[in-house]
Amino acid sequence: MVTKTVDFSARAVEALHNARLRGSFRDAMDDLIRKRLDHFRDETLFRELSGEGAAIRARALSRLPELLEQLERKLVSNGITVHWAEDAAQANETVLKIIRAHDSRRVIKGKSMVTEEIGLNDFLETRNVEVLESDLGEYILQLLDERPSHIVMPAIHKTKAQIAELFARKFPEIPYTEDVDTLTATARRVLRDAFRSTRIGISGVNFMVAETGTLCLVENEGNGRMCTTIPDVHIAVTGIEKVVEKLADVPPLLALLTRSATGQPITTYFNMISSPRREGEKDGPKEVHLVLVDNGRSDIFANPDFQETLRCIRCGACINHCPVYTRIGGHSYGTTYPGPIGTVFAPLQDGLKERGELLSASTLCNACTEVCPVRIPLAGLINRLRAEYAAPRGNVKDAGSGRSWKEAMAWKLWSAVYARPRLYQRLLNWGLKHRDRLPRELAPWSDSRAMPVIAEKSLHQLVREKSEADQ
């Protein structure tokens, strides 16, 4: 039937049997949900703000090619070098070329999901470039050789005790401790040294302003600011959809992003990068590069049914509220972006043959849609993708790759019967008469559900009997 290269089901089943993992996710998600709610108790306020956020993002997308050109012109006039990358391979090669041009063998990185998406770390390391993650969560995962399980809090699946064990193993000079301040100070010491001695810093970007040629970076640890100011060269890597029209568009989006992501009115650091170090300035990189990554985004942009996906500001709220994600965690998805946004983005980016299996990772409860600060109709998009997956043809890559002829026949038969009331009634009566012989299992559907017991009498019979009795 379907080529299951992702093997989502197997990983999800494994995660479901991991009680510790489920406990970690449940507690962490409950905490994030509560923190967000503290800022959005007033439904009207959230509706107003999200309406504004959605309008800003929709307006930017409606002028995407034009805004990208304007952004490039502005950045170049500000002294920032712009590189365009059609896919992951081109983006990685571009970054490597810049590193080699500076004869460097080491880079220090801030948090960036796009670099995860293009597999930059693995690519650079196989070319003898050492990559050091400076975001605490990413740093922990790098020590463990693991991938992020959440787009905002990459190491959220790890408990304090697991991190303490890891640090005791990696830094034998410090005694075992679960004290968060001590663990953070240890990482900070290592990273501070690296900031001083590394010549190239890599970061992501949250928003790019076409009007002014400004790259905005939101963070809490200060490592983003250090990555973008201490090394001589700063390479920013981001997706083309992050552009907005004007500077005035940033505050509403920032207000939505921080409240939705971590329940903060504002993050500790908000960086605005508009140029390399200018004459007379005391700090800042001497060179700034921006690598604009397409990697399938143009195809999503060109598809009016799914263009809304690109409004995403990567806040993670849909993930935090997803009952499926909370139970299986981020690694089960096998994608860079897990949860509802990943369930939509990955099949659009990689095709339904590769990622169609993910579409079952939703109960369509609509919680994701309700909390999305830029009003992306995630549940509706998942439903539409399911239709593309099973339809004979469609306008998404590999549409129809999940089509099963048995299922298609069954539905055809059902619609034929349902369109003929007499036949339907006769079959229903037959089913009622032989209810004991109906199958009790419909694997895998009934693996975790009890098959409904067919009532003794149909609703029609009951109504008829009642009206006869009332006469």
Amino acid at 124: L
Nearer to ligand SF4, 36 or 289 (CB): 36
Residue list 135-164, contact with ligand SF4 (CB under 6 A): none
Q: By CB under 6 A, which span of 171-179, 291-299, 327-335, 368-376 interacts with ligand SF4? A: 368-376
Binding to ligand SF4 by residue 254, rule CB under 6 A?
no
313, two tokens:
């500001």
Q: CB 6 → ligand SF4: shortest distance, Å?
A: 20
Beta strands 200-203; 287-293: pairing state? unpaired
Binding to ligand SF4 by residue 324, rule CB under 6 A?
no
Measuring CA to CA, which residue among 332, 292, 259, 338 is closest to residue 38? 259
308, two tokens:
């809304």
Q: Contact with ligand SF4 (CB under 6 A): which of 28, 313, 358, 390?
A: 313
Q: Contact with ligand SF4 (CB under 6 A): which of 156, 273, 293, 317?
A: 317
Nearer to ligand SF4, 109 or 321 (CB): 321
Q: CB 57 → ligand SF4: shortest distance, Å?
A: 9
Given a contact cutoff of 8 angstroms between Cβ atoms, the answer to whether 275 and 82 are in contact is: no
Residue 306: what are its φ and ψ, rounded to 5°?
A: -125, 5
Nearer to ligand SF4, 158 or 314 (CB): 314
Measuring CA to CA, which residue among 328, 330, 356 is closest to residue 7? 356
Amino acid at 274: S
Beta strands 214-219; 269-273: pairing state? antiparallel
Q: Angle between the 8-16 and 19-39 helix axes, to the nearest 10 degrees? A: 90
Q: By CB under 6 A, which span of 121-129, 314-322, 406-414, 440-448 interacts with ligand SF4? A: 314-322
Which x/- pattern, by CB under 6 A, does the window 377-406 give for ligand SF4?
-x----------------------------
Q: In 222-275, where does DSSP find H-type helix? A: 223-229, 250-262
Q: By CB under 6 A, which span of 158-166, 284-292, 307-315, 425-433 interacts with ligand SF4? A: 307-315
Q: CB 242 → ligand SF4: shortest distance, Å?
A: 12
Binding to ligand SF4 by residue 315, rule CB under 6 A?
yes
Residue 370: what are its φ and ψ, rounded to 5°?
A: -65, -35
Q: Contact with ligand SF4 (CB under 6 A): which of 316, 334, 338, 356?
A: 316
Binding to ligand SF4 by residue 372, rule CB under 6 A?
yes
Q: Contact with ligand SF4 (CB under 6 A): which of 107, 318, 324, 346?
A: 318
Given a contact cutoff of 8 angstroms between Cβ atoms, the answer to whether 342 and 358 are in contact is: yes
Q: By CB under 6 A, which span of 37-45, 313-321, 438-446, 453-461 interacts with ligand SF4? A: 313-321
User: HEC states along 144-175?
Assistant: HCCCCCCCCCCCCCCCHHHHHHHHHHHCCCCC
Q: Contact with ligand SF4 (CB under 6 A): which of 61, 254, 374, 379?
A: 374
The end-to-end CA distance of the chain, in Å, is 56
Binding to ligand SF4 by residue 376, rule CB under 6 A?
yes
Q: By CB under 6 A, which span of 88-96, 115-123, 205-213, 371-379 interacts with ligand SF4? A: 371-379
Inter-CA distances, 44 with 283, 358, 368, 372, 375, Å: 43, 34, 18, 15, 14
Q: CB 151 → ligand SF4: shortest distance, Å?
A: 7
Q: By CB under 6 A, which span of 233-241, 311-319, 347-355, 438-446 interacts with ligand SF4? A: 311-319
Q: Contact with ligand SF4 (CB under 6 A): which of 314, 355, 386, 397?
A: 314
Q: Contact with ligand SF4 (CB under 6 A): which of 54, 209, 341, 381?
A: 341
How deeply is 108 buried, as exposed, middle or buried, from its count of CB atoms within 10 A (0-12, 13-18, 19+)? buried
Q: Angle between the 250-262 and 43-62 helix axes, to the nearest 10 degrees? A: 120
220, two tokens:
């809490």
Q: Contact with ligand SF4 (CB under 6 A): which of 137, 204, 373, 402?
A: 373
Helix (H, G, I), strand (E, B) or coil at 30: helix
Nearer to ligand SF4, 98 or 344 (CB): 344
Q: CB 313 → ligand SF4: shortest distance, Å?
A: 5
Alpha-carbon distance of 5 to 146, in angstroms, equals 20
Contact set with ligand SF4 (CB under 6 A): 260, 312-318, 341, 371-374, 376, 378
